[in-house]
Amino acid sequence: MSEFITVKQVCELLNLGERTVYDQCRHGKLAGAAKIGGQWRVDRTKLLAWLAEGGEAAKPQPATKPNDS
């Protein structure tokens, strides 16, 4: 079973302010974030895995144009 942590716990883990974490949750930028019972919770396992992969830097890069060689 997944362990869901609170926004406050995410703030402490990532050293971020509450407003930043709430904004990231609302905009889908925080892995494992879900609204449960009207409150944001974050799946700790998914968050840690996402961070280990580089966070936002791990998102797929846009395709580049082929070289005209």
Cα(68)–Cα(59) distance, rounded to whole angstroms? 27
Residue 38 lies in a domain: yes
Whether 10 is covered by a domain: the verdict is yes
Using the predicted structure, report yes or no on whether residue 62 has a pLDDT greater than 80: no
Q: Which residues of 23-57 are buried (b: 16+ CB within 10 A; e: fewer)?
A: ebbeeeebbbbeeeeeebbbbbebbeebeeeeeee
**Domain span including residue 41:** 4-54
- For the domain that residue 24 is a member of, what is the CATH number? 1.10.10
Overall domain count for the chain: 1
9 vs 63, higher pLDDT: 9
pLDDT in tens, 12-59: 999 999 999 999 999 999 999 999 999 999 999 999 999 999 886 444
- Any domain includes 65: no
User: How far, in Å, are 28, 29, 43, 60, 66 from residue 63 at the CA level?
Assistant: 22, 21, 30, 9, 9
Please give the pLDDT value at position 54.
87
Answer yes or no: is 64 within a domain: no
* Residue 60 is assigned to a structural domain of this protein: no
pLDDT-derived band at 66, boundaries 50, 70, 90? low
